[in-house]
Amino acid sequence: MQDVIIIGGGPGGIAAAVRAAQLGAAVTIIEEAELGGVCLNRGCVPTKALLASAALLARVRRAGEYGITVGEPSFSLRAAMARKDSMIAELRAGTESLLASYGVKVVRGTAGLVGPRQVEVGGEIIEGRAVIVATGSTPAKPVVDGIDSKGVITTDEALALEEVPARLLILGGGPIGVEFAAMFHGFGSRVTLVEPGPQILPGEDHEVGQRVRQSLRDRGIDVLIKTAPTSIRQQEGEELVVSLAGRSGEVSADKVLTTGRAPCLVDLGLTKVGVRLAGGAIVVDDGMRTNVPGLFAIGDATGGQMLSHLASVQGLVAAENAMGRARRMDYRAVPRCLHTDPEVGCVGLTEAQAEEQGYQFKTSTIPFTLSARATTLGDLEGAVKIVAEARYGKILGVHIVGPQATELIGEAALAIQLEATAEDLAYAIRAHPTLAESQVEAARDILGQAIFLPKW
């Protein structure tokens, strides 16, 4: 009898396992592939490793700006992939020893529920006081004529390419699509990014969408919005021809990359034990409980925003609740980031969401062109935008496009979590010259006290 059984060894499952063990539970975690899940093996980590290569390559090409003369750099995808693979291997080993240090039992195999608290794996049935489903997500291709053509790949395969495709068409302008666009553009592909909605990075603040779209275009990436493929045809010689809705002409590509994802719930036995699903994802409450007592679900398996850090925190919450504590998820301060160049870091409400939720609010935008630090770095693209509630100045959302936005957003996330007001941020002192100053300045601007914005 185990206290907690976790199905899936991704970031959600691992966090849940460690926390449950910290609370004294006997924990078993079942993983059918590699520990670390999508995040470590086919998601966050490999993409960030490759984006680091792409960013450095771009930087090296700009070396002259900094007074450095280098020859034209040459890039090897194989070498970059090898670097990435060795990092994954290293982090995976770290994960294994982490779980071992907590005495978490790792069982290899595909698990399925046979009862609310009974899990079958490899012909054996394990019973637990609580079960946490953390099976994550897998790529999901859109339904389009010819989607199964050779050459239409998912992110899994894109992360294992041996050659840089000369022409890459990416379906989906969400964070994954944008990151891959930046990455392969950096590696030398001619990239076309196709987003069916009215803006890329759907759901993000419209200014963020615009800035990122502009920056992609400036780099030479074709960004097509409000369109989707109607058919994909395989020509001889592997070339793919994609027709797009509402557009005359076709786009040719060597590879078509799909970026959609769907919760991974097949053969899990969820319907057998009566778990409520909606839209192909497991329905949970704010304590990560499903409708079946003792059965929890976390991470990508529950749909919603598919983010690694969110899966982890949900794992902590599920573990605590499974161990008899009472902890609730707070979704107000979940950062959403892109490791592109410029980076993107967002947290909290967008302007549209603030309006939708009936807030009276103010916004302020401070471009990085006003930042001494951005200037010295030579990274002037982007801005910090704050959405604050008008009456009390409560910070509702912060949206950063620019250098180190993914790190800067941490401060904003804390501000939102602690319910800070514009004054709290505006009266803060940040070192000069740093990028963090821009966030303080944006808060000052909410109060009408920005000091580096010229008075018009």
Ligand X SMILES: Cc1cc2nc3c(=O)[nH]c(=O)nc-3n(C[C@H](O)[C@H](O)[C@H](O)COP(=O)(O)OP(=O)(O)OC[C@H]3O[C@@H](n4cnc5c(N)ncnc54)[C@H](O)[C@@H]3O)c2cc1C
Which residues are part of the catalytic machinery?
Answer: 432
Under rule CB under 6 A, residue 128 binds ligand X: no
At its nearest, how many Å lie between ligand X and the CB of residue 454?
Answer: 37
Residue 306 burial (10 A CB sphere; 0-12, 13-18, 19+): buried
225, 195 in Cβ contact below 8 A?
Answer: yes
What count of other Cβ atoms lies within 10 Å of the Cβ of residue 224? Answer: 18
Under rule CB under 8 A, residue 421 binds another protein: yes
Judged by CB under 6 A, which of 18, 88, 111, 242 binds ligand X?
111
Residue 146 binding target from another protein, ligand X, none, CB below 5 to 8 Å by type: none
Judged by CB under 6 A, which of 54, 104, 130, 136 binds ligand X?
136
Structure tokens at 263: 């919760």
At its nearest, how many Å lie between another protein and the CB of residue 419?
Answer: 4
383, 368 in Cβ contact below 8 A?
Answer: yes
Judged by CB under 6 A, which of 4, 20, 21, 44 binds ligand X?
44
At its nearest, how many Å lie between ligand X and the CB of residue 7?
Answer: 5
Query: Using CB under 6 A, which of the segments 8-16, 76-84, 162-170, 439-447 binds ligand X?
Result: 8-16
Query: Using CB under 6 A, which of the segments 2-10, 182-190, 202-210, 352-360 binds ligand X?
Result: 2-10
Under rule CB under 8 A, residue 398 binds another protein: no
Residue 135 binding target from another protein, ligand X, none, CB below 5 to 8 Å by type: ligand X
The rounded distance, in Å, linking the Cα atoms of 232 and 152 is 9
49, 85 in Cβ contact below 8 A?
Answer: no
Under rule CB under 6 A, residue 32 binds ligand X: yes
Under rule CB under 8 A, residue 439 binds another protein: no
Comparison of 194 and 422: residue with beta carbon closer to another protein: 422
Query: Using CB under 6 A, which of the segments 28-36, 219-227, 363-371, 410-418 binds ligand X?
Result: 28-36
What lies within 8 Å, CB to CB, of 382 at 6+ separation is 211, 215, 342, 367, 368, 374, 400, 401, 402, 403, 405
Query: Using CB under 8 A, which of the segments 11-19, 412-420, 434-442, 444-452 binds another protein?
Result: 412-420
Residue 418 binding target from ligand X, another protein, none, CB below 5 to 8 Å by type: another protein
The rounded distance, in Å, linking the Cα atoms of 41 and 10 is 9
Query: Using CB under 6 A, which of the segments 122-130, 186-194, 287-295, 305-313 binds ligand X?
Result: 305-313
Structure tokens at 14: 């691992």
β-bridge partners, 252: 241
Judged by CB under 6 A, which of 2, 3, 4, 10 binds ligand X?
10
Sign of the alpha-carbon torsion through 451, 452, 455, 456: negative
Comparison of 208 and 366: residue with beta carbon closer to ligand X: 208
Q: How far is CA 291 from CA 119, 139, 262, 278, 285, in A?
A: 17, 27, 21, 12, 8
Under rule CB under 8 A, residue 363 binds another protein: no
Under rule CB under 6 A, residue 172 binds ligand X: no
The candidate with the shortest Cα–Cα distance to 403, out of 433, 386, 382, is: 382
Interface pattern 224-253 for ligand X (x via CB under 6 A) = ------------------------------
11, 299 in Cβ contact below 8 A?
Answer: yes
Q: What end-to-end distance do the CA atoms of the chain give, in Å?
A: 71
The rounded distance, in Å, linking the Cα atoms of 128 and 362 is 50
The rounded distance, in Å, linking the Cα atoms of 95 and 66 is 39
Binding residues (CB under 6 A) for ligand X: these are: 7-13, 30-33, 37-39, 42-44, 47, 110-111, 134-137, 155, 176, 264, 268, 299-301, 306-309, 311
Binding residues (CB under 8 A) for another protein: these are: 392-394, 418-421, 423-424
